[in-house]
């Protein structure tokens, strides 16, 4: 399969390649446009007036079992159909209902963007399209995996997760630790604290490496460059932090002073995130906006509004195409960075959203809020998939396990299973696998086997961790959303949690100034 790029996307013959597909797509777009216009149609709220209006346009004034609210919806639908047939945007109604609709009128507004933002959107599209293509191709392979193999992988992974236990605890600062994050090589832990200091620690030894001082107020968020401690030079930008002094600082690993200071927010910066490409940084702030920054030029590319209250959390999708923001207005929004449009509204929490995270599968999102719950959202169905009553107090952080292939250790040839490799593309392999599952008399089908590659690929995103102000870190399965393990801390409030990319360590920052490490290795 040829690699999908921004240039080949437009000329792809498989994209709405037939006239029938184009017509079906146009019908869907017309229906969406009709529904959009229908929401702007003003109709009476009094049931007698609704009946009179229905009689006026020649419709039955009532249907069997129809309630007043249903009758009003039917009037809106009929008027929208008439408007669509006439080509009108709206239909005149009685003055009373028109006055009611004028009390609150919503309208979209646009602000001009810079040429740098336009180029950034194109770069993000070029970066994300091949990654999305690879992810979907791998998900197609995983979907064909035998049920027995999936069950065995889940048992093995969840069995290891249930072994997590306390590894060590270290006082990290003189004030509460607001956020902890593992470096991509899993050998360094960064902590940000309310003292305004960012510190680097060796793990699992918990010995200090360096203190990064530059903020004049409490640090709200820290994030690693995707290639930091791997391919990124220690003298280049490896780390970003945001604080209540309204600034973001870009840090190297060899200096205690920032390489650059990003200024623009009017209120405290709560959370920060690096784009998977490493070229951009996003920041969420109390000024009710989130912003996108260019790491190379230290320039603000985008000031995005859309929340009615403070924006607290932010996270990028692993493809790099989307970014999700969570606000204290209890609303989350998913934004398409390639177009600037809202892809989904996460409306369901009753209190502010303090944590948000994308699953590695690319279409599920977890949010943690002040209503003590974790909600799982599915972008395919555009709705909440599951609600987890996760903690007995505020949910402060959620983090999915994201596997890094560089930590995959392939066993020796003698340890490899002899079962057919599902990554093959031949029909014969599929047929043989099917026979083994469906034939109870075959002894090899009693215990389905799986390759280490299959396990590592399927493991990514199979569980996630959450922290709460109830003093607990909890690990959850990411397919049936069940509790796997509860880890206690020595604090009443856990401020942040993170999972190392090899899956063997969990870090937690607490309100009583320390951070704790947990491991599944005996």
71, 83, 69: which is closest to 41 by C-alpha?
A: 83
Q: What is the pLDDT of residue 430?
A: 37
Q: What is the mean pLDDT of the chain?
A: 85
Q: What average pLDDT does this structure show over 206-232? A: 94
Q: What is the pTM of this model?
A: 0.76
On the CB side of 310, how many CA atoms lie within 13 Å of its CA? 16
Contact of 503 with 459, CB cutoff 8 Å: yes
Helix (H, G, I), strand (E, B) or coil at 276: coil
The token pair at 129 is: 């399209």
Q: What is the pLDDT of residue 109?
A: 62
% pLDDT > 70, the chain: 84
- Pairing of the two strands 383-388 and 374-378: antiparallel
Q: Looking at per-residue confidence, does 419 or 200 come out higher?
A: 200
- pLDDT band at 93; cut points 50, 70, 90: very low
474, 503, 484, 486: which is closest to 396 by C-alpha?
A: 474
Residues belonging to the chain:
522
pLDDT tens, residue by residue, 407-466: 766 655 444 444 444 344 434 343 334 334 444 444 334 454 677 777 878 888 999 999
- pLDDT band at 1; cut points 50, 70, 90: low
Q: What is the pLDDT of residue 43?
A: 83
Q: What is the pLDDT of residue 196?
A: 95
- pLDDT band at 309; cut points 50, 70, 90: very high
396, 399, 431: which is closest to 499 by C-alpha?
A: 399
Cα 42 from chain centroid? 37
Which residues, including other chains, have CB under 8 Å from residue 266's CB and lie 6 or more apart?
246, 285, 287
Contact of 184 with 226, CB cutoff 8 Å: yes
pLDDT tens, residue by residue, 44-92: 888 899 999 898 888 998 888 888 888 888 888 888 888 877 776 544 4
Q: How far apart are CA 335 and CA 329, in angstroms?
A: 17
% pLDDT > 90, the chain: 61
């Amino acid at each position: 399969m040829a690699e999908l790029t921004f240039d080949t996307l437009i000329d792809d013959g498989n994209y709405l390649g037939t006239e029938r597909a184009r017509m079906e797509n146009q019908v869907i777009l017309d229906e969406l446009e009709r529904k959009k216009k229908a929401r702007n149609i003003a109709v009476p709220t009094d049931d007698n007036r609704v009946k009179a209006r229905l009689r006026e346009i020649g419709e039955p004034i009532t249907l069997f079992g129809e309630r007043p609210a249903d009758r009003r919806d039917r009037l809106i639908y009929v008027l929208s159909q008439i408007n669509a047939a006439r080509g009108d945007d709206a239909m005149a109604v009685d003055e009373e209902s028109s006055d009611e609709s004028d009390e609150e009128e919503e309208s979209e507004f646009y602000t001009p963007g810079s040429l740098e933002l336009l180029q950034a959107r194109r770069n993000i599209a070029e970066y994300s399209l091949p990654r999305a293509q690879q992810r979907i191709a791998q998900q197609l392979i995983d979907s064909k995996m035998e049920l027995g193999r999936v069950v065995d992988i889940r048992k093995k992974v969840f069995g290891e997760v249930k072994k997590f236990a306390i590894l060590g605890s270290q006082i990290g600062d003189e004030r509460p630790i607001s956020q902890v994050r593992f470096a991509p090589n899993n050998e360094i832990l960064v902590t940000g604290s309310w003292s305004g200091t960012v510190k680097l620690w060796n793990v699992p030894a918990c010995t200090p490496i360096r203190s990064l001082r530059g903020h004049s107020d409490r640090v709200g968020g820290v994030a690693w460059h995707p290639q930091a401690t791997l391919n990124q030079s220690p003298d280049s930008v490896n780390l970003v932090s945001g604080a209540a002094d309204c600034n973001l600082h870009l840090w190297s690993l060899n200096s205690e002073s920032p390489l650059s200071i990003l200024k623009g927010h009017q209120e405290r910066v709560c959370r920060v995130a690096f784009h998977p490409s490493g070229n951009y940084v996003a920041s969420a702030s109390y000024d009710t906006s989130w912003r996108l920054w260019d790491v190379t030029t230290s320039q603000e590319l985008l000031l995005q509004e859309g929340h009615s209250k403070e924006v607290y959390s932010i996270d990028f999708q692993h493809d790099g195409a989307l970014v999700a923001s969570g606000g204290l207005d209890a609303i989350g929004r998913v934004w398409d960075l390639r177009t600037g449009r809202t892809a989904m509204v996460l409306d369901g929490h009753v209190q502010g959203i303090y944590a948000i995270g994308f699953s590695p599968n690319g279409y599920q999102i977890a949010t943690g809020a002040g209503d003590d719950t974790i909600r799982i959202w599915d972008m395919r169905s555009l709705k909440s998939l599951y609600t987890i009553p996760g903690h007995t107090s505020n949910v402060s952080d959620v983090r999915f396990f994201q596997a890094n292939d560089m930590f995959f250790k392939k066993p020796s040839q003698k340890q490899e299973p002899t079962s057919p490799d599902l990554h093959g593309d031949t029909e014969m392999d599929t047929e043989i696998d099917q026979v083994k599952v469906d034939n109870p008399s075959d002894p090899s089908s009693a215990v389905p086997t799986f390759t280490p590659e299959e396990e590592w690929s399927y493991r990514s995103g199979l569980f996630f961790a959450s922290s709460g102000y109830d003093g607990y870190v909890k690990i959850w399965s990411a397919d049936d959303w069940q509790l796997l393990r509860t880890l206690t801390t020595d604090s009443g409030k856990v401020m942040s949690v993170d999972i190392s990319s090899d899956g063997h360590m969990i870090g937690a920052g607490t309100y009583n100034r320390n951070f704790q490490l947990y491991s599944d290795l005996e």
